[in-house]
Chain A
Amino acid sequence: MGLLTNILLAPFLGPVWGTKWTLEKVDRVVRDQLTDDTPVKEDLMALQMQLEMGEIDDDEYVRREAEIMQRLREVREWREKFGMSTSGGPVRVAESGESDQ
């Protein structure tokens, strides 16, 4: 066993290791994307800027704001599913001394 097995079985084991590693990595990337609200907040700021500059009208703003709010809610739900902290909603002083915000 040992080294020889690895060499002999390499064509078989190789791709399996590879796949597992890739899946874990994809999992992490997807999870990071689902739980990151930074791009959504940036879109909201860009939208406000467009309104301020007169590039879009009020109706357009309201319509696109609603879409962005929906995306923010989705990120919040994913964060809750993964047990991560979320902003907004009811809070109290933490007894454990652990920061939640």
Chain B
Amino acid sequence: MTAAESVSAATDPAFAEGKYVYCIIRNDRSREFGEIGIGGSGARVYTVSHKDLAAVVSDTPIVIYDPTRENVLAHEFVNETVMREFTLIPMSFGTIFRSENDVKALLNSTYQAFTDVLDKMQGKIEFGLKILWDRDLVVAAIERDNDEIRRLKDEITRNAASSTYFARMQLGRLVEAAMEEASNRYVNHIHEQLKEVSVASRSSKVIGDRMILNAAFLVERKDEKAFDEKVKTISLQYEDLLTFKYTGPWPPYNFVNIKLKLEKAT
């Protein structure tokens, strides 16, 4: 289905309603989570159960949801709401089944894997930590602390006219290497301190040229306060150099990886 078709499908009453799946939880009674579903019209969010597992769903036309901020936040808000009471396995954004029976078929066919992961994730939450630096500040700190670089720079400044291209090249190379070393040192130091208060961590690719760390940490709910405190302490240590973007608690997005055997339902 192309995007253009999917838009018209949304308004065509001939298309049967589907079920948008947000997450899987362990719960054997039916539950309501309010009118907070994706799609902008306040769809009712409820559970579809199979044995002691339940999928958290809302009714939706059969469409492809673009990952716009609005849609992603709606998906996210449902999971945050469910997470207050349950350990959950998040579904990937945009997953829609045609009927309640298709959702039950998913719970049935993946029962063991869901159960195992729910056991493993019981009482655990995820935090995100992105760390950015200000290149100018870091370069200034390096020039202050690194004797070799400081000497070379002074020399170039003193003999501005006569200093060679190679001296400048060498300075650039030294600064680059010192920055990479500094970045590794900061990141290792931070990881080391957070290891004590987390179960696991996973690093993703950094975004943009100012970021030096883009990581997720899996934390026991009972350690949430300790983790918070630790992040605060660390951010104070690096107050002058680094900017911390700390988010959560999230469902364990980066620590659950179940390959679902799904095919396109046409």
Give me the interface of A with B, judged by CB distance under 8 Å: 42, 44-46, 48-50, 52-53, 61, 65, 69, 72-73, 76-77, 80, 85-101
Contact = CB atoms under 8 A, between A and B. Distances in A.
B265 A46 contact: no
A69 B94 CA distance: 14
B264 A89 contact: yes
Contacts of B265: 90-92
Range of interface residues on chain B?
35 or more
B69 interface: yes
Interface in B1-40: 1-3, 6, 18
Interface stretch (B60-68, B173-181, B234-242): B60-68
A72 B65 CA distance: 11
B109 interface: yes
A72 B18 contact: no
A73 B3 CA distance: 6
Contacts of A100: 261-264
Interface of B: 1-3, 6, 18, 62-69, 92-98, 102, 105-106, 109-110, 130, 132, 205, 207-208, 211, 245, 259-266
A52 B66 CA distance: 20
By DSSP majority rule, is chain B's interface helix, strand, loop, or mixed?
loop
A90 B207 contact: no
A101 B67 contact: no
B18 A90 contact: yes
A96 to B, nearest CB: 7
Nearest to B266: A90
Contacts of A101: 92, 259-260, 262
Contacts of B261: 93-94, 97-100
B2 A88 contact: no
B105 A93 contact: yes
Nearest to B65: A88
A60 to B, nearest CB: 13
29 contacts: A49-B207, A52-B245, A53-B132, A61-B69, A65-B68, A73-B2, A73-B66, A76-B3, A86-B264, A88-B65, A89-B64, A89-B96, A89-B264, A90-B18, A90-B264, A91-B95, A91-B264, A92-B98, A92-B102, A92-B263, A93-B109, A93-B110, A93-B261, A93-B262, A94-B263, A96-B263, A99-B259, A99-B261, A99-B262
